[in-house]
């Protein structure tokens, strides 16, 4: 299996994208911003289509669109976090622009509309070239390290916003920076698992980790481990079963971990059990 | 190619209504606008836009799954939305737990649905006009039978909302007080999600998975920025949604761009204007 270049590229990109998704996801779930992640992932799709309409490189469209919307959302909400309704409204509008762009793409001379759109929606990790996968790995690694470095102030201003402000933590700026990090992850992982499915890699491993572990570093490590494990397993599964798309396999495994974690957590909290520790 | 606007509004109206597909689109749009804005008013009040969006994308696995096993497409929509509503309701039952776990659960339900849809699509090679059509809808290809079916589902949904209107309102605003007064809050949560799923499944067959969400969130959010009273708020929300749908359809008819683009842009502009005037008034 690893004799093929495309498999090696997919594993290289997938590992670090999953690492970044697991890390950022743990914080996303803690901050209850999964909906923002969802919005950014759909924005990534619109960005990819926009780049195709303008004839630009897909990655430019992805990063410009997601980072711009992340900044916009944090400007709309208080404390640099966007609320449910303002995300929803902005989100719906961006999707409307997506419809317009798809129409424009369909009528333009370039054609190939269906393939570009399907790739952006569902990803094509096995089609990544060596250059693209090295960039993906680099971006994933950098985002993970940045988040790890900023973990303490981020957790503090999530759990105790007032206290963090009193201690001089720039709460609003951190909120915006965090959304930008989320945007970068969304843009990068769109190429691997696709705009519609990357939310699963952000939400499911992190949700499982939050059910199982409360301490920050342990939870973060668990979340990243589940994300990376699901990616490795999903890639191998879809290599063996040719009709199974890699992104569906990855999401399936991640969701399975979440369901298992929910069952374990319920069993641990079952009535009549003495609280250990 | 496109019909041109004339200075006389009556001539324009005649041009607009000369084709049956356009009449069907306007009828369907009216039904969708009323249903979505009523259900959406509660959705925005309960801050469940994320759940609403998740239900609206369930159209995708519903349609592809139904095509795979040979069921009617609309049945697939209802089954997928109902299953997702139940799955989300189940995970959010322990209300004492913070919203932390809840959003992760909704996100997981959503991607599982989409991943399943993608799997169905790749197993079934005869593509249903591409995934974009499923997501973005075909507002201008509706037949009379679909309009009648839509009307029935809309009436059922609205009747159900009317029955639970008051307890649902109380339990949305203050669940603790509602529970103290004996309102079955958990049951209402589940019922609301199922109703939302029903409305979304019916409307997304026509508007597409993504557009129904625009109608669910933009008009009610704008209405709630203008008034907090339930009665006028609901009426305002319906009126705004009707305006958005009618103007959007008419604009799309007279121009080469799709109705979804106009409707979402109108909704966004409306919300922006309302928010800004409110901020300026303070």
By Cβ distance, the residue of A83, A99, A252 closest to B261 is: A99
Q: Which residue of A has its CA nearest to B44?
A: A85
pLDDT at B96: 39
Contact B111, A256 (CB under 8 A): no
pLDDT at A79: 54
| Chain B residues whose beta carbon lies within 8 Å of the beta carbon of residue A89 | 217-218, 221, 267-268, 271
- pLDDT-derived band at B237, boundaries 50, 70, 90: very high
Q: Is residue A223 in a domain?
A: no
A82 and chain B: CB distance < 8 Å anywhere?
no
Task: Give the residue from A95, A158, A192 with the most B CB atoms within 10 Å of its CB, the best one to mutate.
Answer: A95
CATH code of the domain containing A22: 1.10.3470.10
A33 and chain B: CB distance < 8 Å anywhere?
yes
Domains of chain B as residue ranges with CATH: 19-213 (1.10.3470.10)
What is the residue-wise DSSP string for chain A?
-TTSHHHHHHHHHHHHHHHHHHHHHHHHHHTT-HHHHHHHHHHHHHHHHHHHHHT--HHHHHHHHHHHHHHHHHHHSGGG---HHHHHHHHHHHHHHHHHHHHHHHHSTT--HHHHHHHHHH--GGG--HHHHHHHHHHHHHHHHHHHHTHHHHHHHHH-HHHHHHTT--HHHHHHHHHHHHHHHHHHHHHHH-TTTHHHHHHHHHHHHHHH--SHHHHHHHHHHHHHHHHHHHHHHHHHSTTS-HHHHHHHHHHHHHHHHHHHHHHHT-TT-----
CB contact under 8 A, B267 and A92: yes
| Chain B residues whose beta carbon lies within 8 Å of the beta carbon of residue A117 | 130-132
Q: Is residue A210 in a domain?
A: no
Res B243 pLDDT > 90 = yes
CB contact under 8 A, B49 and A117: no
By Cβ distance, the residue of B101, B104, B221 closest to A89 is: B221
Q: Is residue A277 in a domain?
A: no
Whole-angstrom distance, CA of residue A163 vs CA of residue A156:
8
- pLDDT-derived band at A228, boundaries 50, 70, 90: very high
Highest mean pLDDT among A44-58, A248-262, B208-222: A248-262
Per DSSP, B19 falls in state: S
Q: Is residue A206 in a domain?
A: no
Whole-angstrom distance, CA of residue A123 vs CA of residue A119:
5
Which ipTM value was assigned to this complex? 0.81
Q: Is residue A238 in a domain?
A: no
pLDDT tens for A78-136 read: 655 557 788 888 888 888 888 888 778 766 545 455 566 666 777 778 878 888 888 88
The single residue listed with the structure tokens 């333009």 is: A108
Please give the share of chain B, as a percent, with pLDDT higher than 90. Answer: 16
Task: Give the residue from A69, A93, A98 with the most B CB atoms within 10 Å of its CB, the best one to mutate.
Answer: A93
Which domain does A15 fall in, by range? 5-195
Domain count, chain A: 1
Q: Is residue A214 in a domain?
A: no
Please give the share of chain A, as a percent, with pLDDT higher than 90. Answer: 17
Q: Is residue A169 in a domain?
A: yes
Whole-angstrom distance, CA of residue B42 vs CA of residue A35:
18
Q: Is residue A274 in a domain?
A: no
């Amino acid at each position: 299996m690893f004799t093929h270049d495309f498999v090696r590229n997919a594993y290289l990109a997938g590992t670090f994208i999953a690492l970044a998704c697991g890390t950022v996801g743990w914080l996303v779930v803690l901050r209850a911003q999964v909906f923002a992640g969802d919005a950014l992932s759909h924005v990534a799709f619109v960005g990819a289509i926009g780049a195709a309409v303008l004839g630009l490189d897909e990655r430019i469209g992805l990063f410009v669109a997601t980072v711009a919307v992340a900044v916009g959302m944090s400007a709309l909400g208080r404390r640099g976090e966007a609320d449910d309704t303002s995300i929803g409204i902005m989100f719906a509008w961006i999707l409307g622009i997506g419809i317009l762009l798809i129409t424009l793409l369909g009528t333009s001379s370039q054609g190939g509309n269906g393939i570009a759109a399907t790739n952006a929606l569902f990803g094509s990790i096995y089609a990544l070239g060596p250059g693209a996968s090295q960039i993906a790995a680099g971006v994933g690694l950098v985002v993970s390290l940045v988040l790890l470095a900023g973990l303490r102030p981020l957790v503090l201003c999530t759990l105790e916003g007032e206290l963090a402000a009193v201690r001089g933590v720039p709460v609003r700026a951190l909120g915006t920076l965090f959304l930008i990090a989320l945007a970068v992850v969304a843009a990068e992982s769109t190429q691997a698992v696709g705009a519609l499915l990357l939310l699963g890699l952000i939400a499911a491993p992190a949700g499982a980790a939050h059910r199982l572990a409360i301490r920050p570093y342990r939870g973060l490590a668990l979340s990243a481990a589940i994300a990376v494990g699901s990616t490795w397993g999903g890639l191998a599964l879809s290599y063996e079963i040719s009709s199974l798309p890699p992104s569906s396999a990855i999401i399936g495994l991640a969701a399975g971990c979440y369901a298992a974690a929910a069952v374990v957590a319920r069993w641990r909290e079952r009535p009549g059990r003495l609280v250990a520790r | 190619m496109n019909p041109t606007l004339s200075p006389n509004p009556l001539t324009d109206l005649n041009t607009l209504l000369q084709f049956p597909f356009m009449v069907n689109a306007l009828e369907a749009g009216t039904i969708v606008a009323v249903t979505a804005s009523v259900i959406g008013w509660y959705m925005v009040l309960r801050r469940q836009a994320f759940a609403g969006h998740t239900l609206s994308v369930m159209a995708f696995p519903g349609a592809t799954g139904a095509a795979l096993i040979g069921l009617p497409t609309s049945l697939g929509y209802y089954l997928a939305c109902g299953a997702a509503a139940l799955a989300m309701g189940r995970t959010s039952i322990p209300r004492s737990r913070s919203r932390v776990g809840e959003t992760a659960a909704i996100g997981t339900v959503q991607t599982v649905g989409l991943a399943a849809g993608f799997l169905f699509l790749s197993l079934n090679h005869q593509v249903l006009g591409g995934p974009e059509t499923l997501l973005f809808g075909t507002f201008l290809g509706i037949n009379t039978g679909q309009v009648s079916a839509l009307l029935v589902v809309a009436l059922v949904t609205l009747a159900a909302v009317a029955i639970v209107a008051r307890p649902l309102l109380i339990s949305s605003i203050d669940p603790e007080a509602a529970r103290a007064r004996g309102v079955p809050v958990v049951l209402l949560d589940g019922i609301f999600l199922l109703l939302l799923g029903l409305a979304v499944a019916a409307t997304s067959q026509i508007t597409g998975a993504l557009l129904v969400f625009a109608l669910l969130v933009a008009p009610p959010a704008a209405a709630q920025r203008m008034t907090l009273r339930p009665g006028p708020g609901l009426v305002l929300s319906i009126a705004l949604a009707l305006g958005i749908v009618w103007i959007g359809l008419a604009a799309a008819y007279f121009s080469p761009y799709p109705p979804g683009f106009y409707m979402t842009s109108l909704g966004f502009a409306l919300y922006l204007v309302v928010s800004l005037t409110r901020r300026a008034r303070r």
